[in-house]
Amino acid sequence: MPRLEQIDEALWLVDGAIVSFYGFPYPTRSVVARLADGGLWVWSPIALSDELRAEVDRRGPVAHLVSPNKLHHLFLAQWKAAYPAAKQWGLQSTIDRFPALTFAGALGDEPPAEWGADFDQAWFRGSFMMDEVVFFHRPSRTAIFADLIEAFDEGFLRQNWSWWRRPLARLDGIVATNPGAPREWRLSFTDRRAARAARAKVLGWTCDRAIVAHGDWRRSGGQAFVRRALSWLGKDGAG
């Protein structure tokens, strides 16, 4: 399994195992950032092996475990057990769905004071299906997306998705050549004005990199990639 990959002075990512999402194989990816106070911010935690834990511990103490939407929760309990002093954060929809998990607070449009110096964030809502918070790591100018942008490359699909499922990824608009949110999620945004406001905030970040949980991420040209991937939301000012 790949180890922590350093992509900036205080930012790492690590790819995890493939998990099943309603029978469809999905890769997992986590981001680790060292905050100004020295604590580690762990986004969408993957399965915690002994090897990964040792690598993480060499970077600093784990202070925050972050779930960007209600689907990225699988390994929160495992990390919380390993790092009981760490604070767990999630959207209110995540907190409501998992009452057994203890959260420090609900995420929204503004970052908590604990990481406001290092991150900005934007809350995409207006869907009856799911909401998501997108993050921007200020020091590295990196935007971080969970399911709002998926970008499966052809190699991954050929290796992991059966022949009849691969066309569904293309129809869903979640492939590297046409990245975005799954089509069924797009259709659930009955109030796109709130989501467009969040998009405007994201596009104002002028990100260099764009990390996605599922598929190809961009080491450069992040803003153009994000603009294209979120274009399905339509023009600002529309109903």
- Res. 171 pLDDT band, cuts 50 70 90: confident
* Domain coverage including residue 156: 5-233
Does residue 238 sit within a domain? no
Residue 156 confidence (pLDDT): 82
The fraction of the chain above a pLDDT of 70, given in percent, is 95
- In this predicted structure, the answer to whether residue 2 has a pLDDT above a threshold of 70 is no
Q: What is the pLDDT of residues 189-220, one digit of tens each?
A: 999 999 999 999 999 999 999 999 999 999 99
Q: What is the pLDDT of residues 107-140, one digit of tens each?
A: 999 999 999 999 999 999 999 999 999 999 999 9
Does residue 90 sit within a domain? yes
Does residue 44 sit within a domain? yes
Q: Is the dihedral of CA 180, 4, 82, 37 positive or negative?
A: negative
Does residue 164 sit within a domain? yes
How far apart, in whole angstroms, are the C-alpha atoms of residue 136 and residue 204?
A: 11
The residue-averaged pLDDT of 78-82 equals: 97
- In this predicted structure, the answer to whether residue 180 has a pLDDT above a threshold of 90 is yes
The residue-averaged pLDDT of 138-158 equals: 92
Which pTM was predicted? 0.94
Domain count, the chain: 1
Alpha-carbon distances, residue 131 vs 128, 186, 215, 216 (angstroms):
8, 11, 20, 22
Does residue 239 sit within a domain? no
Residue 23 confidence (pLDDT): 65
